[in-house]
């Protein structure tokens, strides 16, 4: 369906062929064991046991694969997905480069467990400078980075990494596959937390990995089967259902972010404003060339934790919550989770409310705080 637009692809991705009397998207299949052929056993059918085999999960993976442009594997969470990539590819003595400003649990995992396993861990800022990749096994990029929203040029860094013999994985959580397709830009792996904007309703945990390499796919599939880090059938079904409105949700969220940024840019009491879609943002040039749409996530600083609390208490439309990408606008003071950000740093995730209502609420809450 590559010839269709984003809305059409999102609405039809992964759906089975039309059969009279059957639903558009079949309901979730709940099964641990399945009936086996008494003679042929599991060779006779696609499903033998629920951990490796579930048709609801396969439909979701087909949908995500269509949107990302590769073969997809679904995981129980985004953290499970990135852990699968790191632990299935890296061995003692290998070297990995990760973003200094990426998702902090991944950095913590790398500095503790990976280092203890004998993997050399190096960090580099998403916005650069980037190190020499000689001798590196894997380069993990996160762009736009969470939570600071810096952007890096995937194609340029993938060329550099491949020339040095390294694999490249890109965390595509913030952008989603409608914002950018890392595999098209030269990455070997695109992974994400589907908990966030991909599914967008704040009601499930999900992760995924996509690749065009049969070898990498089989390695990751074996890892998932061994560790059992699969999503449940109902979560897979909810995620697939949510994909149908992905284009609509992202369009409204991005438009709302643009309106909010315009309102915040003129305020002296808001500093450190970041949004890659804003002309003058340090990442604007790269984001404009690389990304098909800018996500609805904005970052800024209100100066103190106390002012962030007053702002959130005064707002009627901005929920205090972690995660991002949902249909309801939310804000997260990242330092409270142990992230190395300033006390007043806020990651604001724009929902699908009317832009005028959202801007009025945010500016009123700032005035009151």
Q: How confident is the model at residue 284 (pLDDT cuts 50, 70, 90)?
A: very high
Q: Is the pLDDT of residue 202 over 80?
A: yes
Q: Which domains does the chain have, with CATH numbers?
A: 6-243 (3.40.640.10), 246-368 (3.90.1150.10)
In eight-state DSSP terms, residue 49 is B
200 with 326: CB under 8 angstroms? yes
pLDDT per position as a tens digit, 95-112:
999 999 999 899 999 989
What pTM, to 2 d.p., does this model score?
0.96
Of the candidates 95, 91, 121, 93, the residue with the CA atom closest to the CA atom of residue 106: 121
Whether the predicted pLDDT of 7 surpasses 90: yes
Q: Above pLDDT 90, what percent of the chain? A: 96
Give the least confident one: 98-112, 225-239, 294-308, 353-367.
98-112
- Bridge-based pairing of strands 207-211 and 189-193 is antiparallel
Gap between the Cα atoms of 62 and 57, Å rounded: 9
Which secondary structure element, helix H or strand E, spans residue 72, and what is its range? strand 71-75
Tokens of 315: 């707002």
Mean pLDDT of the chain: 97
Residue reference for tokens 């949908």: 63
Contacts of 174 (CB under 8 A, 6+ apart): 142, 143, 144, 145, 146, 149, 196, 197, 295, 297, 324
């Amino acid at each position: 369906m590559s010839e269709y637009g984003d809305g059409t692809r999102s609405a039809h991705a992964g759906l089975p062929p039309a059969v009279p009397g059957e639903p558009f998207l079949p309901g979730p299949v709940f099964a641990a064991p399945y009936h086996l052929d008494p003679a042929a056993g599991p060779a006779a059918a696609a499903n033998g046991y629920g951990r490796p085999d579930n048709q609801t999960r396969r439909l979701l993976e087909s949908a995500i694969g269509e949107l990302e442009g590769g073969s997809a594997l679904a995981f129980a969470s985004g953290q499970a997905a990135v852990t699968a990539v790191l632990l299935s590819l890296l061995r003692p003595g290998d070297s990995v480069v990760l973003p200094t400003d990426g998702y902090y649990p991944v950095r913590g995992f790398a500095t503790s467990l990976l280092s203890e396993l004998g993997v050399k861990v190096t960090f580099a800022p998403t916005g650069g400078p980037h190190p020499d990749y000689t001798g590196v096994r894997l380069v993990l990029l996160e762009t736009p980075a969470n939570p600071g929203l810096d952007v890096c040029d995937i194609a340029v860094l993938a060329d550099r990494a491949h020339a040095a013999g390294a694999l490249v994985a890109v965390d595509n959580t913030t952008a989603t596959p409608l914002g950018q397709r890392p595999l098209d830009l030269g990455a070997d792996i695109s992974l994400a937390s589907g908990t966030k904007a991909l599914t967008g309703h704040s009601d499930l945990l999900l992760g995924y990995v996509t690749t065009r390499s049969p070898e990498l796919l089989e390695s990751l599939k074996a890892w998932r089967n061994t560790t059992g880090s699969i999503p449940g059938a109902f979560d897979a079904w909810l995620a697939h259902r949510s994909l149908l409105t992905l284009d609509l949700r992202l369009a409204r969220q991005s438009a709302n972010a643009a309106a909010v940024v315009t309102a915040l840019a003129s305020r002296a009491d808001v500093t450190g404003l970041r949004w890659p879609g804003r002309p003058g943002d340090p990442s604007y040039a790269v984001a404009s060339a690389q990304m098909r749409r800018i996500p609805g996530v904005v970052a800024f600083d209100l100066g103190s934790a106390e002012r962030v609390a007053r702002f959130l208490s005064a707002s009627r439309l901005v929920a205090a919550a972690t995660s991002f990408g949902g249909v309801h606008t939310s804000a997260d003071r990242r330092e409270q989770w142990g992230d190395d950000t300033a006390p007043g740093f806020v990651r604001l995730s724009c929902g699908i409310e009317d832009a005028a209502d959202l801007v009025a609420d945010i500016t009123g809450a700032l005035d009151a705080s």
